[in-house]
Structure 1
């Protein structure tokens, strides 16, 4: 396995590795603190309008260059995250070395430059192919009815299934990512965040048929007033939530990220409500987009709502309870609810809001309900990895941790929102940096 970019070599005692880990955690804290404070201390563009925070890429992602031909494709290793660039109408290949003991999922997050224009159908397609060009699985994602860009995510999968006719041998496979763009769309390069995760097979065959009926009624929304829980700026920085009513502020053109642990047998319901405005009443179509992605960063659902100065709510469609047998469905949303773990919520506010209502942040209320008793897992023959909900995940959801994608290296972005000002958090971070520097200084220097 190749060394991650930016990794620090160990001196044999583990001290340098631990120091590097502390450094990364402190940097993550400062990043989280800055994210919380962006709504009150955003830098300005040359025209005086507020600048959007950039997408928060995984700082441990390794740079890789997709190949123009499968023959030159570089390997994506399981459990790793990568970064690349995708040009307009670009087409890039990566390689996978797969066995027959685990299912493979490869996701891509495409990050256009903020403010760019998009035509209907603009997006990308991701697929896994075997050596004969047979597609094992694919997903196509696009900007739908919006005319503006936002981060897009989709995944492809290769499932080990003795009843399948192809893609069942161990060996070399390829990931193909293709960008689809209208001639009038923005020609900017898109940054890519790629992730390869694997899923154990079952120790014995489980149910593979969907139940005829399921609880599709929408529960009553949470009450009691919202708690501030500002969203993050990317999947790696997604802020953890549990059932409840949550308050955030969102800028025109911004996308916020949260994550919710959903276990086997549970259902996730979510709505996002834009607060009313006193500055106008012009209708902005598809003003707010509320999206749902699964633990492998696969697209599940997206709903939009217009805005005319009155409060407006986007609601996700009711989803089936999380179950292994959901993967037998050809319907995208049902198939997406195939495993337990962190499910990601995203909210994007159209940049057109700035033209009609100004570039100030708009109040956003997120209402989340996780319904249903937890059930035992399907009986994986191995460590489920990200496809489970742990006690630490529950704690992260309670306190609002973010980081690492699996809750193992989190920082509490709720800290600043919970009473400490941004300056206090930054001072605490600077103090930590000073302490760290002292510890790293050899004796006698």
Structure 2
């Protein structure tokens, strides 16, 4: 379980200290830098997980105890929903057992497993064929779970991310091989394969066996009692494989013991993990004339408990925590599978004392997980800005329209769009991302609409949520009312949520001292979702619209241009890909004497410097109609 913080933190103003140095490729005397990039994600996306659904069609599926219908009818309904909502390029296969032999010969009955649909992208033809086959299913035979798992692993091939989703209403009637032994056998092969299991009307005698299959393969287990719960459970499992946020980056292991033995990181994106309640530390280099951006995004398989906090800080590493260059935090505001924040250091005033060897420290503070919790992926984005990067300018991808503007599923794969209205459909439980480029002096307005059907099952906290993140991957305020979600309150039909208009300013712009996060020109991210849906609603497809308006003339002096690594991408995956990003950002350093690679050790000493007091604002966001709140600290160091 992801915890609430032990205490609420109302943070006072902190001193800002502009000392230390980070030697980026853009800063070396003899090197010609690559053009700076925005943190957009990889040009070549990681392929979607290949998923094989293994469905129990044994005779017990004819029992009429699944909410007024047979288990078989409920299973057909749930599987048809999965087929309907699968992304067009999502590889899906279907295997059944107990479907063809109704007799008593155990040898024949225990060999009764067939691949009904090969693992293939769900284009129009494959979708229609799959639904026709599901409609004709009959439940007649034995329950050869172990044999079917072995065959399903063969269906998926030997490369890439693979998942088996098993639906069963009872225990194996054909062992040997015992299903859990087969699961261990598959795991021992060392392949990237997990087995998720849904126990459908499963007796307690069989539940332990099914849970074992999931446990030994690092999969998930869920119980379902009727068609609605089976549909919700399957929808959750398939979204996890296809359309959830997939944390990506160059692997790195941050220190758990402070800055002294921390790895050195250069501009780029990295992938680490929170374990227990431990913080993560990294060394970083920054000259006094350079600016540093650090963003951290924690990703959970399920929604966070309200109140979880992530903090990112950086500065010279003295006796205390590093925070003199920047410090930002964000507190989870509800149903989401990410919590993210970021900050930028201020430019030097020219009289700072650099840290020894220009080395500082980044700390990502973990107030999300407790000891014993499952490790949680954390993306770390590091960027540098100076005169060289400013002169080179930033590369941004061309906006997309129409079918090409389908949202991606991470910051890295966010789809670039421009002003106008963009329409698509999403399944409830999905939270796609888009990105827009805005400059100081322009005003940004984002309007998201969703069409809710008349029979939509919602709870008192269900609503329509549109979230805007600034270029530091920090959540911004949506509107003056501080509403986080537009609650449905039983409403159906078209429901809209409007964020803005907000004027984009520069951090030191006195024209807008209360910018609510809109004080960073650059790439803004938009995320839309049906928040806190009832379980029965998960997987329902709803039409949405996203309207972006950018007005006003850009002002001169649009602020720093950040370099995020030589390999940072030009934009998200092409249309039709699942939006799961791959590695982003190199760790290359070109300066003489610098360490090539993202996580090289640097044993230089770390000391403090001169402190410059800077005020830091803290605010409380009241969440309309929902009994929780979020604290946001706007770092200015």
Place the TM-score, normalised by the shorter chain, in its bin: 0.5 to 0.7
2:524 aligns to what?
343
Instruction: Provide, for residues 387-432 of structure 1, a one-character-per-residue CA deviation record: whole Å limited to 9, x for no partner.
Output: 9xxxxxxxxxxxxxxxx865x365531xx5xxxxx9xxxxxxxxxx
Q: Is the 8 A contact 2:448 2:497 kept in 1?
A: yes
1:262 aligns to what?
438
Give the SS at the match of 1:338.
coil
Q: Is the 8 A contact 1:289 1:348 kept in 2?
A: yes
Report the Cα offset of residue 152 of structure 1: 1.8
Matched, 1:95 2:283: yes
Change in CA separation of 1:410 and 1:314 when aligned onto 2, cut-off 3 Å? closer
Report the Cα offset of residue 158 of structure 1: 2.5
1:139 aligns to what?
328
Instruction: Provide, for residues 37-88 of structure 1, a one-character-per-residue CA deviation record: whole Å limited to 9, x for no partner.
Output: 4599599663452221232444xx211111112111111202x110001124
Give the structure-1-normalised TM-score: 0.65
Report the Cα offset of residue 376 of structure 1: 2.9
Report the Cα offset of residue 326 of structure 1: 3.8
- Cα-Cα RMSD: 3.8
**Which stretches in structure 1 are left out of the alignment for 5+ residues?**
2-23, 205-225, 388-403, 417-421, 423-445
Matched, 1:66 2:254: yes
Report the Cα offset of residue 89 of structure 1: 2.1
Change in CA separation of 1:344 and 1:410 when aligned onto 2, cut-off 3 Å? closer
Measured in 1, the distance between the counterparts of 2:448 and 2:372 equals: 28
Give the SS at the match of 1:300.
coil
Change in CA separation of 1:332 and 1:30 when aligned onto 2, cut-off 3 Å? same
Measured in 2, the distance between the counterparts of 1:63 and 1:248 equals: 34
Measured in 1, the distance between the counterparts of 2:418 and 2:568 equals: 16
Which range moved further: 156-165 or 35-44?
35-44
Change in CA separation of 1:376 and 1:287 when aligned onto 2, cut-off 3 Å? same
Measured in 2, the distance between the counterparts of 1:348 and 1:164 equals: 47
Equivalent in 54, 59, 62 of residue 244 of structure 2? 54
**Which stretches in structure 2 are left out of the alignment for 5+ residues?**
1-21, 23-41, 50-85, 92-120, 128-162, 166-195, 199-229, 391-400, 479-483, 578-637
Give the SS at the match of 1:192.
strand
Report the Cα offset of residue 270 of structure 1: 0.4
Equivalent in 273, 281, 296 of residue 449 of structure 2? 273
Give the SS at the match of 1:370.
strand
Equivalent in 22, 28, 35 of residue 45 of structure 2? 28
User: Aligned runs of 1:372-411 on 2, under 5 Å?
Assistant: 372-378=552-558, 384-385=561-562, 408=570, 411=573
Report the Cα offset of residue 196 of structure 1: 0.5
Give the SS at the match of 1:127.
strand
Measured in 1, the distance between the counterparts of 2:556 and 2:358 equals: 33
Change in CA separation of 1:283 and 1:97 when aligned onto 2, cut-off 3 Å? same
Instruction: Provide, for residues 123-143 of structure 1, a one-character-per-residue CA deviation record: whole Å limited to 9, x for no partner.
Output: 311111322235222111122
Measured in 1, the distance between the counterparts of 2:568 and 2:512 equals: 27
Structure of higher CA gyration radius:
2
Report the Cα offset of residue 296 of structure 1: 3.2
1:105 aligns to what?
293
Change in CA separation of 1:170 and 1:200 when aligned onto 2, cut-off 3 Å? farther
Report the Cα offset of residue 354 of structure 1: 3.5
1:172 aligns to what?
359
Equivalent in 140, 156, 160 of residue 343 of structure 2? 156
User: Aligned runs of 1:319-330 on 2, under 5 Å?
Assistant: 319-323=502-506, 325-326=508-509
Measured in 2, the distance between the counterparts of 1:149 and 1:260 equals: 21
Equivalent in 405, 426, 430 of residue 250 of structure 1? 426
Report the Cα offset of residue 372 of structure 1: 1.1
Give the SS at the match of 2:508.
helix
Change in CA separation of 1:178 and 1:385 when aligned onto 2, cut-off 3 Å? closer
Report the Cα offset of residue 283 of structure 1: 4.0
Q: Is the 8 A contact 1:267 1:320 kept in 2?
A: yes
Matched, 1:361 2:541: yes
Q: Give the number of equivalent residue pairs.
A: 339
1:314 aligns to what?
497
Q: Is the 8 A contact 1:100 1:170 kept in 2?
A: no
Which range moved further: 290-299 or 228-237?
290-299
Give the SS at the match of 1:265.
coil
Report the Cα offset of residue 281 of structure 1: 5.9
Measured in 2, the distance between the counterparts of 1:379 and 1:333 equals: 18
Matched, 1:412 2:594: no
Q: Is the 8 A contact 1:104 1:157 kept in 2?
A: yes
1:198 aligns to what?
384
Measured in 2, the distance between the counterparts of 1:312 and 1:279 equals: 15
Matched, 1:126 2:309: no
Change in CA separation of 1:278 and 1:314 when aligned onto 2, cut-off 3 Å? same
Change in CA separation of 1:129 and 1:328 when aligned onto 2, cut-off 3 Å? farther
Q: Is the 8 A contact 2:269 2:380 kept in 1?
A: yes
Change in CA separation of 1:379 and 1:176 when aligned onto 2, cut-off 3 Å? closer
Measured in 2, the distance between the counterparts of 1:345 and 1:37 equals: 23
Give the SS at the match of 1:135.
coil
Change in CA separation of 1:275 and 1:379 when aligned onto 2, cut-off 3 Å? closer
Equivalent in 465, 486, 493 of residue 289 of structure 1? 465
Report the Cα offset of residue 112 of structure 1: 0.6
Give the SS at the match of 2:516.
helix
Give the structure-2-normalised TM-score: 0.47
The structure 1 segments of at least 4 consecutive aligned residues displaced by more than 6 Å after TM superposition are 42-45, 163-170, 327-330
Which range moved further: 284-293 or 164-173?
164-173
